[in-house]
Amino acid sequence: MFIDQANILVMAGAGGDGCTAMTKHPSSRHARPSGGNGGDGGNVVLVADPHLTTLLDFQFRSEFHAGRGRHGSGNTKTGKRGAECLIRVPVGTVMTERDGCLVGDFVTASDQCLVARGGRGGIGNANASRATPGQAGEKRWLRLELKLIADVGLVGFPNAGKSSLLARLSTAHPKIAAYPFTTRTPVLGVVQGDSQGAFVACDIPGLIEGAHDGRGLGIQFLRHIERTRLLLHVIDAASVDGGDPLERFHQLNHELAAYSPLLRTRPQLVVANKMDLPQAQEGLRRLQASLSEPVVAISCATKAGIPQLIGLVWQRLQALGPATVGGSPASHLSGAR
C-alpha cells in the first residue's frame, strides 16, 4: 500500500534526577556530599532510509519515545544517558510542524534531523548545594509528507498512455487497462538509453479538470510532480476518449499552475501518443502548429518514436543540470528545535 502522508508525536526522554547522598571517609570526622548527576534523556532523530518507499509504517505507529536518563547515585556516579529513538523515513520525505513550518527535507540517504532533544540530567549534591531534578524532554507533533524524487514526471489525462509509456521506457510494470484511473499510485521506473545515462521517470495517476480542488485522484499525487526536473505531457493525439488534444493540453497545464505557480515554469516536452491510429495525424498537426513546446510523436503500441524520445529527454536533462529542491536539507537542520 502506498501511503505518502502521516502525523506523528515524538517525545524525547526526560533527564534523570540528581542524587542526594553523603559519604564519610574513615579518616574524616565529617561526611561530604557524594550524590552523582542524572543522565541526559535520549534524543529523537529522523534519518532517511533509501530502502523505504512509503510511510505505511506510520499508519500502525504514530508515537515515538526516547529513553529516560537514569538517576544519579552515591559515590558521585552519573546516571546512564537515555536511549536515542531513531525513526527511519523514505528519501523524499518533507517534515513540517502542525502550522506548516518546515523542519527538515530528506533529499539524500545521508540526511538526518534531530527533532526532539532529551532533557538535561539533574545535578547531584556533589556538584551543587543541593540535588536538582532532571528536565523534561521535548515533545512535538510532526507532519510527514512523502514527495517522490524523480528526474521526469509523466502527466496527462486518464488513458492518455502514461502507464504504457513508462512500461516502454523502463522495466517498471504499471497496471495498464482501458478505463480511467487505472494507475492509483505513483510508479517509478529507471530509464536506460543505448548510449545515454540513466534517469528516473515517475508515472503520476491521471489528472482531470478540477484536480487541484480535489476532483479525481490528482490532488493526492500532485505533490510528487514538485520534485521532477522535467515534465512529459502525454496527450492522446487520436482523441480516443473524445477530448480535443490541444484543449487537453491547456486544461492540464491550468491544473498544474493552479496547484503550484512553480509548476507553470517547469520545463516540459509534449508527447503525442497513439500515432499508430490514422486520426492522430490531425491532432499532431494542431499541437505542432499551436504550441511552442517541442512535440514528440510516438506510439506505445508499436514503439515508434520511443528511442528518439529517450534521447531527447536525456539531452534536456543534461541541459537543465542537477535537480534543485526547495526548502532546507534536513542535514542542515540537525539541531532544529
For 170-195, the pLDDT digits (tens) are: 865 644 444 444 445 677 788 876 56
Q: Comparing 6-15, 22-31, 63-72, 78-87, which segment has the lowest mean pLDDT?
A: 22-31
Q: Comparing 18-27, 71-80, 153-162, 176-185, which segment has the lowest mean pLDDT?
A: 176-185
The pLDDT score that the predictor gives to residue 336 is: 42
Query: Mean per-residue pLDDT for 95-104?
Result: 91
pLDDT band at residue 214 under the 50/70/90 scheme: very low
Spatial contact of 75 and 115, defined as CB atoms under 8 Å apart: no
Predicted confidence (pLDDT) per residue in 38-96, tens digit = 999 999 999 999 888 789 889 899 999 999 999 999 999 999 999 999 999 988 899 99
The pLDDT score that the predictor gives to residue 9 is: 97
* Statement: residue 237 has pLDDT above 90: yes
- 55 φ/ψ angles, rounded to the nearest 5 degrees: -100, 25
Taking the domains of the chain in order of start, what are their residue ranges?
A: 5-146, 152-320
The pLDDT score that the predictor gives to residue 252 is: 86
State the chain's mean pLDDT as an integer.
84
Q: Comparing 83-87, 104-108, 135-139, which segment has the lowest mean pLDDT?
A: 104-108
- Give the closest residue to 281 by CA, choosing from 263, 304, 251: 304
Spatial contact of 286 and 280, defined as CB atoms under 8 Å apart: no
CATH of 152-320, one of 2.130.10.10, 3.30.470.20, 3.40.50.300, 3.60.15.10: 3.40.50.300
Any idea which fold 5-146 has? Spo0b-associated Gtp-binding Protein; Chain: A, (2.70.210)
Q: Which residue has the cell 521526469?
A: 152
Ordered DSSP codes for 86-130: EEEEETTEEEE-TT--EEEE--STT-EEEEEPPPPPPPPTTSSSS
The pLDDT score that the predictor gives to residue 195 is: 62
* Statement: residue 291 has pLDDT above 60: yes
Q: Which of the 8 DSSP states describes residue 216?
A: T
Measure the CA–CA gap between 305 and 303, rounded to whole angstroms.
Answer: 6
pLDDT band at residue 309 under the 50/70/90 scheme: very high
* Statement: residue 157 has pLDDT above 60: yes
The pLDDT score that the predictor gives to residue 136 is: 97
